[in-house]
């Protein structure tokens, strides 16, 4: 089905994985009161993204793969919402790396889920 040897070869997975690293960086500065709240939520959403891309990659049928890509896309939207909340709460400053990765990964996932026919 796919022309790559590993899910790690997928550019979308690589960018999504980078989002995990960026999410961990920004949440280190969150207030201690958020350790079991927003900090965990952001980290879980970020981890879910490339994890679902990888799991979908391992599936044998295109429909299953697209389902996992859809879950990854939903996790991306969750992460974006939490990022915006973090900005509004003044926990973090605007982060162009995260914003660009969210846009890039979102666009890539959308094209993979809904390819032009």
CATH code for the domain in which residue 14 is found: 1.20.1440.60
Q: Is 1 domain-assigned?
A: no
Rg (CA), the chain: 15
Q: Is 16 domain-assigned?
A: yes
**Cα–Cα dist 38/50, whole Å:** 20
Return the percentage of the chain with pLDDT > 70, whole number: 97
pTM score of the predicted model: 0.92
Q: Is 91 domain-assigned?
A: yes
Range of the domain at 40: 8-113
Cα–Cα–Cα angle for 8, 27, 39, rounded to 5 degrees: 95
Number of domains within the chain: 1
User: Does the pLDDT of residue 117 top 70, yes or no?
Assistant: no
**Cα–Cα dist 8/30, whole Å:** 30
Q: Is 109 domain-assigned?
A: yes
Q: Is 23 domain-assigned?
A: yes
**Cα–Cα dist 74/27, whole Å:** 20
Q: Is 3 domain-assigned?
A: no
**Cα–Cα dist 117/91, whole Å:** 43
């Amino acid at each position: 089905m796919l022309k790559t040897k590993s899910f790690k070869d997928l550019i979308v997975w690589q960018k999504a994985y980078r989002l995990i690293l960026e999410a961990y960086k920004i949440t280190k500065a969150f207030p201690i009161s958020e350790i079991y709240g927003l900090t965990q939520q952001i980290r879980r959403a970020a981890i879910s993204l490339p994890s679902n891309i990888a799991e979908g990659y391992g599936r044998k049928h295109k429909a299953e793969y697209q389902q996992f890509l859809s879950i990854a896309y939903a996790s991306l939207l969750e992460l974006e919402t939490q990022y915006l909340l973090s900005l509004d709460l003044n926990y973090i400053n605007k982060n162009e790396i995260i914003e660009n990765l969210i846009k890039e990964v979102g666009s890539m996932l959308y094209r993979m889920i809904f390819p032009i026919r």
